[in-house]
Amino acid sequence: MENLSIIGLQWGDEGKGKIVDYHAGRFDGVARYNGGSNAGHTIVFGNRTYVFHLLPSGLLKRKRLFIGPGVVLDPITLKEELDLAKKEGIKIDLTIDGRCTLVSPLEKEMDAIIEKARGPKALGTTKRGIGPAYAMRALRVIPRAMDLGLGTFDLASAKALYSLFAKDIPDLTRWTESAREVLRGRIGDVGAAILELNASGKSVIFEGAQGVLLDLIHGTYPYVTGGHTLASYVPASLGIPAKSEGKVLGVAKAYTTRVGSGPFPTEISGRVADSMREIGKEYGATTGRPRRIGWFDLVAMKYAVRLNGVDEIALTKLDILTKVGEMKVCVAYRQNGREITEFSSALPFIDKVLPVYEDLQSFLGLELTRAKLPRAVDAFVEYLERELKVKVSLVSIGEERTATVERG
Ligand code: IMP
């Protein structure tokens, strides 16, 4: 069986954690390849809800876990997650690539300082130091996991460089000790390990963080994350050949959410948005911030599908729409009397476009069961398949692992 890349097609929070956990049983490992502890991947299992920021979502199925070199790794967060897993009796088999960038308290401070300086134009980052960490890597200042894990890190010279960026450098002694502890015995070459598994007939899920529209280059810049979220980043960041990427499964919510600032053409406010937020528990898994709510955006989704060569889609949170009396899909944007259907051509003025909606049959009061989806739901899914020219292979109708419908 080939590998599988699972990525978010919107602004993150599409429900990737649940989909990775659902598929993980058929794979031998799960690898994170991008982002850092800004991600919050939620898995509901029985009566427990788990949120992990760095550990790949294959952990509940006891899979081999990998954190690839493209990840910006906060060792303190990782230590907390490993401690939690231990407390829960979950055995973790984790390999961290030696080339991972390590996020220190300094990058988190830089994140907060830059956000404050932006004033009303703040990006609304998670303040996990993601942008500064990727920037410090580009400046070749920041240490890698191998530098601490294998003992070659020189704190004094690091401090000398850090002092160029901040007047008061946070004390890094404790951070250095904790980082060493968490990395000890876990450093390896993730790309090589994945290829070795593949050579013995085993396969791996590549678990994306954030979503396409938060990509540093292709998203709604500057309101994006500090790294890359596209499927094409999977092989480059992990250090495996492009042909090893496998199928691309894009995850999309049946509506749209966004947390943090930035353009959001289909955003709605008022009663419907408020009830969708409450019913859908649309609060940031990392920061607890209320997520902004909007209708499904076909213009943005066609762009996301095109950029990633999406093979199949997993459509999530359809159950939330059974509590809502309306059902809309944005089919175009309007700007100065002109209709636009290509997301990239709307990007220069994306904060000013107005959505053109198609009204579909509401799901209000429908009962969703695994045995049979109601006609209105099937019709919506088939409509998306026709418009996007991609198969919707999985439909999620509840937060539990079992509330998932496979479509043949
Ligand atoms: P950063 O990644 O912390 O720099 O934040 C940049 C933008 O990406 C902000 O709007 C964040 O809210 C958003 N963001 C980062 N990670 C996630 C995520 O996992 N889900 C949803 N939004 C995210």
Nearest-angstrom CA–CA distance, 71 and 35:
5
Res 174: pLDDT: 87
- Let me know whether 106 and 95 are in one domain: no
Q: Is 218 a catalytic residue?
A: no
Q: Is 13 a catalytic residue?
A: yes
- Let me know whether 315 and 393 are in one domain: yes
Nearest-angstrom CA–CA distance, 404 and 243:
29
- Let me know whether 76 and 215 are in one domain: yes
- Let me know whether 231 and 317 are in one domain: no
pLDDT in tens, 257-308: 999 999 999 999 999 999 999 999 999 988 899 999 999 999 999 999 999 9
Nearest-angstrom CA–CA distance, 325 and 376:
13
Q: How many domains does the structure of the chain reveal?
A: 3
- Let me know whether 192 and 169 are in one domain: no
Contact call for residues 125 and 140 (beta carbons, < 8 A): no
- Let me know whether 291 and 398 are in one domain: yes
* Residue percentage of the chain with pLDDT more than 70: 100
Residue nearest to atom 20 of ligand 1 (CA): 12
- Let me know whether 277 and 310 are in one domain: yes
- Let me know whether 163 and 200 are in one domain: no
Handedness of CA 307, 311, 234, 299 (dihedral sign): positive
CA of 296 relative to ligand 1 center, distance in Å: 19
Domain-terminating residue out of 217, 249, 281: 249
Domain-terminating residue out of 197, 224, 249: 249
Name 304's Cβ contacts closer than 8 Å, sequence gap at least 6: 9, 10, 211, 212, 213, 250, 252, 310
- Let me know whether 296 and 385 are in one domain: yes
pLDDT in tens, 137-154: 999 989 999 998 777 788
- The pTM of this model reads 0.96
Residue 168: which CATH number?
1.10.300.10
* Residue-range definition of the domain harbouring residue 19: 4-99+186-249
| Average pLDDT estimate for 177-181 | 92
- Let me know whether 191 and 310 are in one domain: no
Res 319: pLDDT: 96
Contact call for residues 16 and 258 (beta carbons, < 8 A): no
Residue 338: which CATH number?
3.90.170.10
Nearest to 8 by CA among 316, 318, 355: 316
- Let me know whether 291 and 389 are in one domain: yes
CA of 129 relative to ligand 1 center, distance in Å: 11
Residue nearest to atom 15 of ligand 1 (CA): 38
CA of 195 relative to ligand 1 center, distance in Å: 30
Residue 296: strand pairing partners? 329
333 membership: H or E segment, kind and range:
strand 328-335
pLDDT in tens, 308-325: 999 999 999 999 999 999
